[in-house]
Amino acid sequence: MSVIKRYSSRHLFICLFVTIAGFIAGTARAAIVRGTVTDPLGAPVAHAQVALVANGAVLTSATTGADGSYQITTPAAGRFYVVAAGKTFHQMTTAGFYAGSMDAVEQNLVLEPEWVRQEIVVTATGTPLPQAQVSSSVTLIPRIGFETHADLVDTLRQVPGTMVVQSGQRGSTTSLFVRGGNSDANKVTYDGVTAEDVGGRYNYGDVSTTGVTSVETYRGPNSVLYGSDAASGVVGFVSPRGTTASPSIFYSGDGGNFNTYRNEFQLAGAHRKLDYYGAFSRLNTSNSLPMDKYHVVIAAANLGWQPSGATQIRGTARHSVSSTGLPGAYDFYSVANDGRQSDQDTYIGATVENQTSLAWHNLARYGLARKREQAVQWYPAGILTQSGGFFPTSNYYGLPVTIRGANGFSVSGQALLNYTTDNFSVYPNSFDFVSNRDQLYAQSDYRFSPHMVGLIGFRFENERGSERSAAYFIDQSLERTNYDYTAQIQGDVRNRLFYTLGGSLLKNALYGTETNPRIGLAYYAVRPGSGIFRGTKLKFNFAKGVKEPTLTEQFGSLYAFLSTQPGGAAAIQSFHVSRIAAERARSYDGGIEQNLFGQRVLLRVTYFHNEFGNQIESVSGGVIPQLLPNLTPAQQQQLETLLQNTFSSLNLNSLDFRAQGLEAEAEYGIGRRVFLRGGYTYLDGKVQRSFSSSSLHPTFNTGTSTGPVPSFSNVPIGAFSPLTGARPFRRAPHTGFASASYNSGKWSAQVIGGFASRSDDSTFLSFSDIEQGDSLLLPNRNLDPGFAKIDLGGSYQVLPWMGVYAQLDNLLSDQHIAPIGYQSLPLNFRTGIRLALGKGMTR
């Protein structure tokens, strides 16, 4: 009996040991997915349902605890995503991720309110953060907001505080002014890779919707995180990622009026550690003006590989080839110029991310940008005409026209279009512009506690640029090597007070060392919740930013000119002439956000005050000696002698202007199918200091020797730049937008409108009438027309694999949306079909 008892005890011990060992071994081979589920303010969401999904099937699920945490264990290895849902919240899904059999992966989810969209944004802090916790003004527009559009020009008009100016029809140069700043004061990125030219210029008219899944716009300086050029705002384009277990192939093709057609192909999917996305599209159109054909070809790719649950390697690429006619300001000539501009832009990024521990995250990114632009003119368009004036000569003029400003004033005559070869023009001629950049960015962020995150970053970039024209013997190039150092801390106090404190040190090869601070605070006086008036957020921001000069600004500076003149080097030293320097920005803003009716309605109101100083402007060489400080009469005479060899203006840091205003925005979710959004911006801009010849000595239109004196002959005019005390050009004091979208599954529709009041501008036709005079200038105030541009788009899913769609733009057929002189594209439409082969779309 004792033997049996002894054997049973031993057998029981062995079975228990094998069971425990097997459990430990099984656990060691299991993938662990854990994290927290919070609301937009970071407060934990208890009793939320969390599911682990693979290949469209739920593998296992869990419920969050009182602290919002969850943990899911699965013996499978592969690609997963986590789905979470809670009472009064949208169901949210993470991006797809890979987890191996021995990986522990953290996946945190932020549940959005059921009615109002609260996105995750990154441009404000450099790390993903719910919009509700951000003090800065950030707008994220997902792909559903531009699904049927071919480009993103009208999408950018749906952002408060911005003014989009397209100088012509589809494909023409398009600029973005953020809160009154200059159009070249914005950092532009594709998947984190800097995309603007050296010095900040960027043409938004070429940005196709192909390969873009969202657009994020940050308003205000953010040189702390993005270095030079982020003096007014940041625009980030993000590409899609593949998520479906099997390859998904998509095709869309459409056609419309003005000989417009577009084809787009997409391939996406994911397999174990790899996810992939690729796209190719081409759009062609003739536009409505002669000599204005446009085409753009886009190729984009996004490849990701996760060797483990903690490490991700991602490569992105985007290549754009475009060509557009340059008919010019057609309303000034009634003759189209024969120019053409071609662009070839390539952006490549390679990023390595590692979640070193639950609290420590590291990122390193290499970015490459290669940009080429060629502007060509084959012959001098226009009518060869003998002009009068002090030096009678022959040039090419447009037809007789009447130019009417939105301010009610008008002038008539023929405008100079092209010079003859006798007047130093060469035909054909071309100008080539090159802008190259190689960039390395490293970032490390550490979570000291659930309420505090620290971030440090380093950026190195090598920029090369050139301008060349064989016809005019121009061959200039430059190279800049720059370094940025960043430190930032962010967090919250009791999920109620949110803060961001940061600073940067920028070392630029051209303008030297600059420091930039940034402070952001957001406080919830009333936390969101059920009720009519719940959720009151107060916010405040202060920041400084810098912008480096463009290629043409550096090449055309006073310092560069003197460097090429005999005796110029000595003059630079004697007169203390410095290199062209950085443009600076200082901004502060404050506002309130209010949720209404159980978070069904969200209202935002923000006041901003910006100072843009040390800005670069073109100054007549003849007045520069009188403007430079501390020069004796003898030194002024010496400088005048050196400058007599230039017939053009030179660039100086001599412009200051202010821009303050008010942004208002409203969002309203009606059920799950209807979403309304609208906004209004008031902008008060004022030039405070200017050395341009027009500002120092305004121009007056006194007519021609044979024509009547115009009724505004005593009104001072800024021929090429605004006068001191006036508004900066092409920034309307009143802008707004409105949109309504409907989505029922099979049906979707969206109507959007962009609105702007009249804005200040110039015809820029100084010395351009038939007598080489100024009779074609108009007063600057309210010269550009106001407009209302309304677009309608929609789609219908006929079959699971086939859908149809249509997009109608400019329903009111307003041809004066562009600045004065330029005709906008009238009512235009595209209709097409979508085909899908596969199980899902990209994310």
Token look-up 């459409």 returns 254
- The residues near 583 (Cβ < 8 Å, ≥ 6 apart) are 182, 185, 231, 546, 547, 548, 549, 612, 613, 614, 615, 616, 653
Q: What is the separation of C-alpha 657 from the centre of its chain, rounded to a whole number of angstroms?
A: 22
| The pLDDT value given to residue 99 | 87
78 with 272: CB under 8 angstroms? Answer: yes
Which of 771, 608, 772, 558 is CA-nearest to residue 221?
608
- In this prediction, the residues of the chain whose per-residue pLDDT falls under 70 are 1-29, 114-118, 645-647, 839-843
**C-alpha span between 590 and 160 (Å, rounded):** 15
Distances (CA, A) of 586 to 201, 354, 599: 20, 35, 34
| The pLDDT value given to residue 763 | 98
Which of 117, 142, 144, 155 is CA-nearest to residue 791?
155
Q: What is the radius of gyration, based on Cα positions, of the chain?
A: 30
Q: 3-state DSSP call for residue 669?
A: strand
**C-alpha span between 652 and 655 (Å, rounded):** 8
**C-alpha span between 614 and 544 (Å, rounded):** 13
| The pLDDT value given to residue 16 | 38
| The pLDDT value given to residue 653 | 94
Overall pTM > 0.75: yes
> What is the CA angle 325-329-331, rounded to 5?
125
**C-alpha span between 813 and 825 (Å, rounded):** 8
Widest distance between CA atoms in the chain: 134
Token look-up 């409108």 returns 753
Tokens of 447: 């979570």
Strand blocks (E) in 703-786: 734-743, 747-756
DSSP strand pairing (787-799 vs 474-493): unpaired
| The pLDDT value given to residue 117 | 64
DSSP bridge partners of 347 = 318, 369
Q: What is the separation of C-alpha 516 from the centre of its chain, rounded to a whole number of angstroms?
A: 21
| The pLDDT value given to residue 3 | 34
Q: What is the separation of C-alpha 32 from the centre of its chain, rounded to a whole number of angstroms?
A: 38
